[in-house]
């Protein structure tokens, strides 16, 4: 790979975090960066190529992309790469919607190779993509996070709620992520937590600023505040972590936190395959 001209295209935070730390720790050479959304901050590139992707791919031998749902740039780049016989690699950072990542508006953008970053993801990808090379890569991002997270402080009375945007309102008028948070608050008594519990909410990197401002005054019983620190610092402060199905919950599990899923009974089942997660709707 190091002797070829490589272009990387990323938008969403999940794949960007995995690819940034993998490239850095494995000393992979990347010649062109096309970054948007959260990826710009993660890669912290002073110079980002923003000219025509077609022109960039003309001088590319290998394409590496994320598999964003909030941007079609990676999808379109993979289709162009296939037309031009450019070797294409796509990184999957989660355990959900594997095939849907590569089919948008009926158009396929399947790559030549898929990278995943843990054993469960590898087994699932091998089962769903039998004709594509699947490579399990070491998650340097997880290593980086766990080194920075402090051991559990069992005297802590703080809970971290990790948010993520949903594209589905589950047949109701309110956004899914808002419904899940309110379901958590309405059922918090099932978790047998301290009465003087403090709740920290961590917005997703792709969330707009101020999106969850209304949450701060939603409860008369618990103090709720937004945690703007990095994820590792937020987890370090807290003894419990709650969310729907974000990768941050997996990080928290690996950091030996008690993790709850707040997806309500009328919502989807949690896609995270980890049995240690406690599902509030099952309590």
Q: Which helix (H) or strand (E) holds 119?
A: helix 119-128
Question: Model confidence at 2, in pLDDT bands (50, 70, 90)?
Answer: very low
Domains of the chain: total: 2
Element (H, E) at 158: strand 158-162
**Are residues 122 and 189 located together in one domain of the fold?**
no
What sign has the CA pseudo-torsion 138, 142, 144, 148?
Answer: negative
CATH number for the domain that contains residue 155: 3.40.50.2000
In a domain, 1, yes or no: no
- 138 and 171 in one domain? no
Residue range 144-192, pLDDT digits in tens: 999 999 999 999 999 999 999 887 899 999 999 999 999 999 999 999 9
pLDDT one-digit tens code per residue, 94-112: 887 788 888 877 788 999 9
Identify the domain containing residue 157 by its residue range.
149-282
Name 130's Cβ contacts closer than 8 Å, sequence gap at least 6.
none
Same domain? 93 vs 126: yes
Whether 248 is in a domain gets the answer yes
Whether 235 is in a domain gets the answer yes
Whether residue 41 lies inside any domain: the answer is yes
Rounded to two decimals, the pTM is 0.88
Q: Considering 95, 125, 145, which residue would you say is the last residue of a domain?
A: 145
What is the C-alpha separation between 113 and 63, in angstroms, rounded?
Answer: 10
Same-domain check for residues 121 and 140: yes
| pLDDT surpasses 50 at 1 | no
With bands split at pLDDT 50, 70 and 90, how would you rate the model's confidence at 47? low
What is the number of H-type helices and E-type strands within the chain? 9, 14
**153 and 108, same structural domain?**
no
52 and 30 both lie in a single domain: yes
């Amino acid at each position: 790979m190091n002797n070829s001209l490589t272009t990387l295209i990323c938008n969403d935070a999940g794949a960007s975090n995995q690819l940034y730390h993998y490239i850095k720790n494995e000393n992979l050479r990347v010649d062109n960066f096309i970054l948007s959304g959260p990826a710009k901050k993660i890669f912290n590139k002073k110079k980002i190529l923003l000219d025509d992707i077609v022109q960039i791919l003309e001088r590319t031998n290998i394409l590496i992309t994320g598999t964003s749902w909030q941007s079609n740039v990676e999808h379109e780049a993979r289709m162009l790469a296939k037309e031009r016989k450019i070797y294409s690699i796509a990184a999957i950072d989660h355990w959900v919607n594997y095939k849907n990542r590569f089919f948008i508006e009926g158009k396929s953008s399947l790559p030549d190779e898929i990278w995943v970053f843990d054993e469960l993801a590898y087994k699932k990808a091998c089962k769903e993509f039998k004709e594509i090379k699947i490579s399990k890569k070491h998650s340097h991002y997880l290593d980086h996070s766990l080194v920075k997270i402090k051991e559990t402080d069992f005297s802590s009375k703080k809970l971290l709620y990790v948010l993520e945007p949903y594209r589905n309102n589950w047949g109701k008028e309110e956004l899914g992520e808002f419904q899940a948070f309110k379901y958590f608050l309405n059922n918090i008594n099932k978790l047998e937590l301290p009465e003087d519990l403090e709740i920290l909410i961590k917005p997703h990197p792709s969330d707009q600023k101020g999106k969850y401002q209304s949450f701060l005054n939603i409860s008369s019983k618990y103090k709720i505040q937004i945690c703007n620190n990095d994820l590792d610092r937020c987890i370090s402060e807290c003894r419990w972590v709650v969310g729907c199905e974000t990768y941050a919950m997996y990080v928290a599990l690996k950091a030996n936190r008690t993790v709850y899923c707040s997806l309500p009974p009328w919502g989807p089942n949690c896609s995270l395959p980890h049995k240690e997660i406690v599902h509030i709707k099952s309590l």
